Each structure stands twice: as C-alpha cells, then as structure tokens.
Amino acid sequence: MNHALTLHGVTKRFGSFTAVSNLSLEVPKGCIYGFLGQNGAGKTTTIRMVMSIFHPDEGRISVLGHADAQEVKDRLGYLPEEKGLYKKMKTAEIVAYFGKLKGMDSRTANNKARELLTRYGLGDWLDKKCEAMSKGMGQKVQVLGSIIHEPELVILDEPFSGLDPVNRDTMRDIILDMKRQGRTVIFSTHGMEQAEQLCDYVMMIHKSKLQFAGTLSEIKKGRDLGIQLDYDGDGRVLAQLPGLSRINDNGKHAEIYLQVGTDPQRALRWLLDHVTVKRFDYREPSLHEIFVRTVDEANQKLTATAEAR
Amino acid sequence: MANKTLLVAQREYLENVRTKTFWIGILIVPLLIGAMVGATALLEKLKQVQRYTVVDLGPGDLLERAEREFRSGDAKLLFQLAAKATNDPRLAALQQKLGATGDGKEPSGEQLLAVFEWMQQQDPALLAKIADVQTAKQYTYVPIAELGITATEPDARLQQLNQRVQAGDVFGYFVLGADPEQTTSDFRYVSNNLTDGALRSAYENTLTRLVQKERIAKAGIPPKVAEHIQRRVEFQKLQVDATTGATTDVKNENVIDKWAPVGFVYFLWMAIFSIANLLLTSTIEEKGNRTIEVLLSSVSPHQLMQGKIWGIAATGLTIVGTWVGFGALSAWLAPMFLGDTSGGMIGALLTALRNGGYLFAFVVYFLGGYLLYAAVLVAIGSVCNTLKEAQNLMQPVMMILMVPLLAMMFIGQEPNGLVAKVLSFIPLFTPFAMMNRAGGPPQTWEYIATTILLIATIWFFMRAAGKVFRVGVLMTGNPPKLREILGWLRQS
C-alpha cells in the first residue's frame, strides 16, 4: 500500500501492433517519477491504461490501491499528451470546471482556481478567454486544471513540451510544490535534463518494452564513467582522441567515453594540447547518454534477433 | 454520477447561450416570420388599383347595368352601414339621401340606385376608408371619354384604346358585344397582363349574372323558378368526432387544421435539424481541441455523452420555448396590426397558435425528435475529426430527413391516409408525421403506440450511440468504416 501505482505484466495490443509489452512497475508514494522513451515507445499508452481510458489486454494495474482508476478518478490528476482548452471559456472558469468535474463544490473550485492561477503568474488572465492565450500559458492553465482538486497522484504527459525557459521553471515549481505536499507525480518527457534534475525515479520504455527502472543512482551505478568536457575550439579533432570509445559532441560541450583501460589523465593531457579546456569532469554518465545508448543497444539486439530468424 | 452529467450539460448550455449565434438563432425565426407577414400585408396594400374601361357595342344600357351589378356588393355594404346610426359625416349624408331604410339589410332597387349615384360622387380612396368595399378598393372604372379617345369609328377607337393599354393608362379594357342575349362570342378583354386574371373573372361573373337574368326574362320563366333551377348543389360538411363518434359541424377551422400542422412540421424540422447539428459541431470541436481526454479522466464517456446531449437539449428547448412564446404572443397581438387574417397559411397558423394543444405537441415532438437524431449525430461526431469528414456520414441522415419534408403537404391533405399512417410508425419520422397529422387527428391508440415506439427507439439509439461514442471519441485519423462501427455495436 505504500505504492501509488503498480503495474504487473501489463500488455496492450492494437490489432497486430503491440504498444506495451509485459510491463511491470512500482511507483512509490510521494516521489517524482519520470517516464522516458522515444516517440511511440508506449509511454502514452501506459498512461492511458493507468487512467482507465484504455484497458490492458493482459496484466494488472493498481492505482492508489484500486484495480480500476475509475474508482479513484477524483483522487487522480491527469494532463494528457494532446492538450486543449475550450476556447470560449474564461481561464478561471475552465480551471474551476475541471475541479468541479472532480467533485469539488462550486465555490471552493472557483476560489481555488483564482488562487492557483494568481500564484503561478496568470493573475492578469483570470477573466480572459482561453483563445487569447499563448500555447505556454494554455499549458499552464491545463496543468492547474489537473491539480486543482489536490489529487494524490498526478500524471502529466509531456508537461514541458513547447514551453519557454520561464514557463519551464514555473512548470518545475508546480511539480516540486506537489512533491512537497506529499503527492506523487508521474511525468513523461523527452527532456533528459528535466528528468535528471527533478526525478527521484525514472523508467524507460523502448519499442513497448521496459529497459530500466529505478532511482537515478541505481540506474547510473555500474555504468562506464565518462568525461564531461566544456571546451573552445574545433570539435572535429576530438574524434581523434586516442582510446576513444564514444563521443556526444555539442560544439561547446562534449561527453566522451573511453575504451576500457584507457587512462583519463592521458586523455586530459591530449585534450589540453588540442582544444581550450574550460571544464573537465570525470563522472558517471548523464541520463541523456544512458538513454541514447539504451536505444542503440536495444535496436542492435532487435536487428540481431531479426537476422537470427 | 448524475452530478457530473449535470456539470457537463450545464457547461454545454452556458457555452451555447453565451454566443451571438444562439441569440441570432432565437430571434431570426420570429423576425423572419414577422417580416414575411409584414411584407405580405404591405404588398397587399401597395397593390395598385386597376383602372379599366368598357366599350359597349350594343344598343342598350348594358354597360351601366354591368357597372352597377359589379359594384352591388359594395353598394349593399354601404347601404347597411348608412342604415345604422353613424358619426361619419359622409355616411350621414348618404343616410339622409336614402331617407327611410326599411329593415336596413336589403335595399330596394331605388335605394341601390341612390347609393350608386352617391358612390360615383365619392373618391374611391375615401370609400375604402369608411367601409371594406372590396371592388372599389381594387378596381376603378374610367369612362372612355375621360381617356381622351377621339375616334368614333369602332376599329380606330379600339386602336386608340390599345395604345392606352400599352401606355399603361388603363390595366385593360372590356368590349361588350352587340347582342349578348344571343351570343357573347364577340366579348373581348384586352390587357398586357393576362396572368393577373382577377379583374377579368370578377367582371365575367358579373356579366354572366346579368345576361342570365335577361335570357330568363326573355324566355318568360318566372324569376323564382329560375333561381330554383339555377341553385347549385352543395354538400354540408360534417366530420366524425374522434371521441363521440357522432358527426359534427365543420367550421372554418378545418382549413386551419389542414395547414397549421404543415407550418408546425416545418418549424419542427428546422428546430430538430439545426439543434442536433449543434451537437454534432460541439462534439467534433471537443475532439478537435483535444479536451476530450481530460474530460474522460474525470467523467465516463457515458456521462460525457449524456451531458452533451442534455445540455444541448436545454439549449434547444430554450430556443423552441422562445419561439413558442413569440408565437403565442403574436397570435394575440397579430389581429391588432394585421386586421383580418383568416384564410391563408398565416391566418391558419395564428389560429392554431391560440390552441395550446399544438404548442404542447410541438414541444414534445421536438424533444423526441431531437433525442433520436441527437443519438445519431453524436455518434457521427464522435468518430469524425473535422466537419468535412462528418459531411460524408451525414449524407444518409440528410436523405432520411428529407422524407418528412417531401411528405409534408401530402400528409397535410390526407392526415389519415396510408402514407401518413405508415410514416407515423417509422420512429425516424414519427415526430414529423404525427405533428403533420394533428389536424386529422389520429386516434388515441395511434398516439400511444407511436410514442411507445419512439421512446423505445430513442433508448435503443442512445445505447448504440454510447458504444460508438466510447470508442470513437478517442480515435484519431480517418473515420472508421461502417462495418467497423457495426463491429463496435456488437461488442458488449
């Protein structure tokens, strides 16, 4: 019972296509949990099953201790991947409407809607119509609509997509505030940095299958350490680093992995000779690196099995 | 449970009621009808008095007698008005001229002549003001002399008259033949506008009466006998009363019963179609702006669908209720502005509006028809992402909806005919057909049976719509094929 959500061997097929395959997962209460995966990996399908919008073909789901999310609908908050608002409704009205649909009484919902909007920087928009808002503002309004009833578990499907840095920070604050209040937040994202900074736990799905799940340190443990390098100069030369295994070069920053047995000190010396080194870190890999590597490995495995057949 | 449905319905209602379209929709119909009625009345008023002249080729005074006969209805009316005590100075003058007026109903020959003489001195426009003189209002006789006809030789005279017709000085002219007693084959009517035959037929009837009288006199038949011989056979109209089974007198209202339902069916059709369409657009919009998934995390698809259907039903009832209110109001107010409106479709509608039964039936059949078509349209809306996609699926629905419109006049004429009965028992047409038959009226058992059938079908359609809605509402991409939809229906 100290899990907000458990999935046990959950499978969902659409015709001949398997969207989610034998997925098992536990989300502890009070944490922030990140769902990672490429587009079409099965994140949204998983989330929709949790919300009882779809029903799994196999396996069991338990949400807040109940087998069916319908029973605990009013204790859940949900921001779908496809986000939209009623254009003609006023901002405060629509947030309050979502609250009322979750069983809040009219007056509480109205007051709470205004309070939330004001707290998160939309105080000037309370009585304006949704159609007048920018995309980012609309997204904030929607998130507020999904948490107005103080749900125990909030599921946000890509809450950060399409937001500018300021709105991103607001979104982050909303999520952190939720955690501070002891609620559980699950969100899916493509932004590895956000996941790394915010999440207590992450999991990754690739092509319907779970690749890893756990706390960040659990996931990073045992993986190759890598060089985090900030530099100036021509990055093309980095590819010639002796003992190089893999490199993620971003122009000003590069993530470098060495072959087993290569001394990082020697690499540093080489780098000093070839580029202007501004920062040199030898540490565990970033989530980004883990993600990309997992995708690569999984794809290789799939090709191998396909060829074996 | 029901609370959430109510919330959805409430939102749907408020959103609609707040738009301009809604108020335009509410007001446009009464305004249009008002404008239509007003325009008809105005056109009637603007219709020009038709000027005509008569050339009498015969030796006698047929022209004068024809003119008197033509205006005898007017004269009689004026006589009756003058016979009563009156404040109007002109009528008072006429009263004095007539002296004793007898019983005040049937003028003697001399009195009639006196009225004619008096009429000729009056301006027709003034006459129209003091009495409802139909002939004077519509037609003015202009003697040939006043038209400046100079020729005396008959052919040249007609030539000149033709020019007058062409110039528009007169609407037309009549030529009375030399010997009407023998033959009227040389009687002519010349006009540039032969489509408007009212003047010709009125004058024709007058001449027929006159000539017949003359022929009868010539043949030595006593006038009483002639009248007896000429009397037309007329059937007294009776109707079998629906409840007592006895025959009852049929008054004017029968015309009303025939036409009023047709008018009501027309409004019913417009209301059902436009308001069910509102549901279709609203469903597609909700899918289009992606609010549906958030909603479904709070309410079940069933609650959402029911909420939408009833929210828009409330919108529709508001519109229809306002129409009914306007209708009832205008039924009482119209006589003040329009005067006598008996006869014609508008008059019939107004009379029917004073009869609460029609209004009640209208509201009930609106609700029934709306719910039936709402189920179909909400299902269509749920599987489509754009209005364009919906249009394809709407085609069969439109075709079905054309049937009551096409049958409208036919059922109005034969409210208890086979077609009317068959259509009444097809639930898709029940609201329209039964409203259409209201003048019949159908028997009580028919009302009960068709209503039960309608309610059962609504229930069945709603269930089917619920199944389609549940799956369709989350679908993106191309709308499903009919076969797929039927597959969903078969699932529990």
Residues B180 and B317 in one domain: no
Residues A107 and A174 in one domain: yes
Q: Which domain holds residue A62?
A: 3-220
Q: Are B148 and B112 in contact (CB under 8 A)?
A: no
Looking at the complex, does the CB of residue B122 fall below 8 Å from at least one CB of chain A?
A: no
DSSP B147: G
Residues B462 and B371 in one domain: yes
User: What one-character-per-residue DSSP string does A66-102 give?
Assistant: BS-GGGGGGGEEEE-SS----TTSBHHHHHHHHHHHT
Total of domains in chain A: 2
Residues A139 and A162 in one domain: yes
Q: Is residue B467 part of a domain?
A: yes
Of B15, B298, B474, the CB nearest to A98: B298
Residues A116 and A183 in one domain: yes
Sign, CA dihedral B182-B186-B192-B195, equals: positive
Q: Is residue A253 part of a domain?
A: yes
Q: Which domain holds residue B363?
A: 2-41+252-490
Question: What residue has token string 């807040």?
Answer: A64
**Prior bond to B143 cis, omega within 30?**
no
pLDDT at A113 > cutoff 90: yes
Task: Round to whole Å and give the CA distance between B47 and B78.
Answer: 23
Nearest chain A residue to B473, by CA = A53
Interface test with A, best of B284, B289, B294 (most A CBs within 10 A): B294
| B173-200 pLDDT per residue, tens | 999 888 888 888 888 899 988 888 888 9
Q: Quick one: pLDDT at residue A26?
A: 92
More confident residue, B259 or A146: A146
How far, in Å, are B152, B381, B432 from residue A85 at the CA level?
Answer: 89, 18, 38
Q: Are B362 and B264 in contact (CB under 8 A)?
A: yes
Pairing status of strand A32-37 against strand A201-206: parallel
Q: Å from B486 to nearest chain A CA?
A: 17
Directed axis angle between helix B62-70 and helix B198-218, to 10°? 120
Residues B408 and B357 in one domain: yes
Q: Is residue B214 part of a domain?
A: yes
Partners of B294 on chain A (C-beta within 8 Å) are: 78-80, 84, 98, 142, 145-146
Of A53, A74, A102, the CB nearest to B293: A53
pLDDT at B97 > cutoff 60: yes
Q: Is residue B102 part of a domain?
A: yes
Of B288, B297, B299, the CB nearest to A51: B297
Task: Round to whole Å and give the CA distance between A173 and B399.
Answer: 56
Token pair of B138, please?
């519509």
Q: Is residue A188 part of a domain?
A: yes
Q: Å from B378 to nearest chain A CA?
A: 18
Partners of A79 on chain B (C-beta within 8 Å) are: 294
Residues listed for chain B: 492
More confident residue, B266 or B129: B266
Residues A157 and A270 in one domain: no
Residues listed for chain A: 309
Q: Å from B244 to nearest chain A CA?
A: 55
Token pair of B318, please?
């508001």
Task: Round to whole Å and give the CA distance between B212 and B184.
Answer: 12
Interchain CB distance below 8 Å, B7 and A100:
yes
Strand partners of residue A187: A34, A156
Partners of A84 on chain B (C-beta within 8 Å) are: 288-291, 294
Look up residue A192 and give its amino acid.
Answer: M
pLDDT at B468 > cutoff 50: yes
Residues A210 and A257 in one domain: no
Nearest chain B residue to A151, by CA = B298
Residues A123 and A156 in one domain: yes
Q: Is residue B388 part of a domain?
A: yes
CATH number at residue A263: 3.30.70
Q: What percent of chain B has pLDDT over 70?
A: 90
Residues A49 and A160 in one domain: yes
Q: Quick one: pLDDT at residue A234?
A: 87
Interchain CB distance below 8 Å, A97 and B7:
yes
Residues B216 and B266 in one domain: no
Total of domains in chain B: 2
Q: Which of B224, B202, B237, B244 is nearest to B71 (CA)?
A: B202
Q: Quick one: pLDDT at residue B102?
A: 62
Q: Are B71 and B136 in contact (CB under 8 A)?
A: yes
Q: Is residue B240 part of a domain?
A: no
pLDDT at B313 > cutoff 50: yes
DSSP B146: G
Partners of A146 on chain B (C-beta within 8 Å) are: 294, 297
Residues A122 and A240 in one domain: no
Residues A28 and A160 in one domain: yes
Q: Quick one: pLDDT at residue B140?
A: 87
Q: Quick one: pLDDT at residue B345?
A: 53
Residues B293 and B180 in one domain: no
Residues B312 and B208 in one domain: no
Task: Round to whole Å and give the CA distance between B159 and B149.
Answer: 10
Interchain CB distance below 8 Å, A89 and B15:
yes
Q: Quick one: pLDDT at residue A118?
A: 92
| B226-253 pLDDT per residue, tens | 888 888 888 877 777 666 777 766 555 5
| A90-100 pLDDT per residue, tens | 999 999 999 99
Q: Is residue B149 part of a domain?
A: no
Partners of A73 on chain B (C-beta within 8 Å) are: 297-298
Residues B135 and B270 in one domain: no
Q: What are the backbone dihedrals phi and psi of residue A207, each rounded to the nearest 5 degrees, phi first?
A: 45, 55
pLDDT at A259 > cutoff 60: yes
Q: Quick one: pLDDT at residue B254?
A: 56
Indicate the Cα dihedral angle B51, B55, B58, B62, nearest 10°: 10
CATH number at residue A145: 3.40.50.300
Residue B226 CA from chain centroid, whole number: 40
Partners of A101 on chain B (C-beta within 8 Å) are: 4, 7-8, 295, 298-299
Question: What residue has token string 């019972």?
Answer: A1
Q: Are A28 and A4 in contact (CB under 8 A)?
A: yes
State the Cα angle at A78 between A72 and A84, rounded to 5°: 140
Task: Round to whole Å and give the CA distance between A170 and A177.
Answer: 10
Token pair of B423, please?
């259509």
Nearest chain A residue to B7, by CA = A101
Q: Is residue B311 part of a domain?
A: yes
Task: Round to whole Å and give the CA distance between B258 and B415.
Answer: 8
Q: Quick one: pLDDT at residue B1?
A: 46
Work out the average pLDDT over A3-32.
91
pLDDT at A72 > cutoff 50: yes
Q: Is residue A25 part of a domain?
A: yes
Q: Quick one: pLDDT at residue B2?
A: 60
H helix intervals, chain A: 43-50, 91-101, 106-119, 135-147, 165-180, 192-198, 216-220, 264-274, 287-308
pLDDT at B100 > cutoff 70: no
pLDDT class for A123, splitting at 50, 70, 90?
Answer: confident
Of A80, A89, A98, the CB nearest to B293: A80
Using the 3D structure, point to which of B180, B195, B230 is the last residue of a domain. B230
Q: Is residue A304 part of a domain?
A: no
Q: Quick one: pLDDT at residue B250?
A: 59
Q: Are A157 and A47 in contact (CB under 8 A)?
A: yes
Residues B360 and B212 in one domain: no
Residues B419 and B445 in one domain: yes
Task: Round to whole Å and give the CA distance between A137 and A171.
Answer: 11
How far, in Å, are A19, A60, A294 from residue A10 at the CA level?
Answer: 10, 6, 21
Residues A146 and A49 in one domain: yes
Q: Is residue A294 part of a domain?
A: no
Token pair of A146, please?
């999904």
| B278-300 pLDDT per residue, tens | 899 989 988 877 788 888 888 88
Residues A192 and A117 in one domain: yes
Residues A97 and A180 in one domain: yes
Nearest chain A residue to B303, by CA = A101
Q: Quick one: pLDDT at residue B340?
A: 53
Residues B315 and B222 in one domain: no
How far, in Å, are A21, A136, A164, A288, B135 from residue A37 at the CA level?
Answer: 14, 23, 22, 11, 91
How far, in Å, are A11, A23, A300, B59 from residue A206 at the CA level?
Answer: 14, 11, 12, 114
Residues B419 and B290 in one domain: yes
What is the average pLDDT score of chain B? Answer: 83
- Radius of gyration (C-alpha) of chain B in whole angstroms: 32
Using the 3D structure, point to which of B195, B230, B265 is the last residue of a domain. B230
Q: What percent of chain B has pLDDT over 90?
A: 18
Task: Round to whole Å and give the CA distance between B237 and B253.
Answer: 12
Which residues 131-160 in chain A show a CB within 8 A of chain B? 142, 145-146
Residues B327 and B475 in one domain: yes
Nearest chain B residue to A85, by CA = B291
Q: Which of A200, A156, A163, A196 is nearest to A180 (CA)?
A: A200
pLDDT at B324 > cutoff 90: no
| B329-383 pLDDT per residue, tens | 777 776 666 555 554 556 666 666 767 778 888 889 999 999 999 999 999 999 8
Q: Å from B315 to nearest chain A CA?
A: 17
